Amino acid sequence: MPGLQPPDDALLSALAARDLGALAALYDRYGHLAYSLAYRILGESEAAEDVVQDAFLSAWRGAGTYRRERGTPRAWLLSIVHHRAVDILRRKTTFRPAPLELAEAQPSDDDTALTAEKNVEHRTVRDALEALPQAQRRTIELAYFGGYTHVELSELMGVPLGTVKGRMRIGLQKMRRALERTR
């Protein structure tokens, strides 16, 4: 029963108290999402698993440093996964801007992927992202999943840095409003 599940904040508090059960519960809750994110960024299952293990261990060791005002435990945990994965991505390549087509050739959402969860929130996020004009959506996707800095994106897309910033800003604000409407 979902009502019996401890909230994320309680799990992090338990983590800070070195409760292995809380770590297992947190992994059971977000492990697949964390792995999916790492795989989406890196495109390699082994590297993605390493990132997930490293991120959860970081959370285990650093749960005491978590501050609620900086975001939810879920956002905090996924930000660790994201940072780790992008860090590896940037190290793996010399990271000079590649042709746009190559940059967008991220791991395909092929048949081996599980069907995405169909809950309302996930669908809302996907809809909100897909509803953005292509330039805004590409900018956000290449930054977040491709690991490109805004300066690199400016070069990659052949537009001024201010335009990249504007696309990020407007795109994220639209997504923010879309998500707020559903909460």
**φ, ψ of residue 5 in degrees (nearest 5):** -75, 135
Residue 12 and residue 36: Cα distance in Å, rounded?
21
- 9 binds other proteins, rule: CB under 8 A: no
- 138 binds other proteins, rule: CB under 8 A: no
Residue 150 φ/ψ region, left for φ over 0, alpha for ψ in the -120 to 50 degree band, beta for the rest? alpha
- 163 binds other proteins, rule: CB under 8 A: no
Residues 48-87 interacting with other proteins (rule: CB under 8 A): 48-54, 56-57, 60-62, 64-65, 69-72, 74-75, 78-79, 82-84, 86-87
Can you read off the two tokens belonging to residue 135? 């330039």
11 contacts 25 by C-beta, under 8 angstroms: yes
> Virtual CA dihedral for 114, 41, 86, 83, nearest 10 degrees?
-20
- 168 binds other proteins, rule: CB under 8 A: yes
Report the residue from 17, 102, 105, 179 that binds other proteins according to the rule CB under 8 A. Answer: 179
Binding span for other proteins by CB under 8 A among 2-10, 42-50, 97-105: 42-50
Q: What is the DSSP string of 78-96?
A: HHHHHHHHHHHHHHHS--P
Residues 104-123 interacting with other proteins (rule: CB under 8 A): 109, 112-117, 121-122
- 91 binds other proteins, rule: CB under 8 A: yes
- 12 binds other proteins, rule: CB under 8 A: no
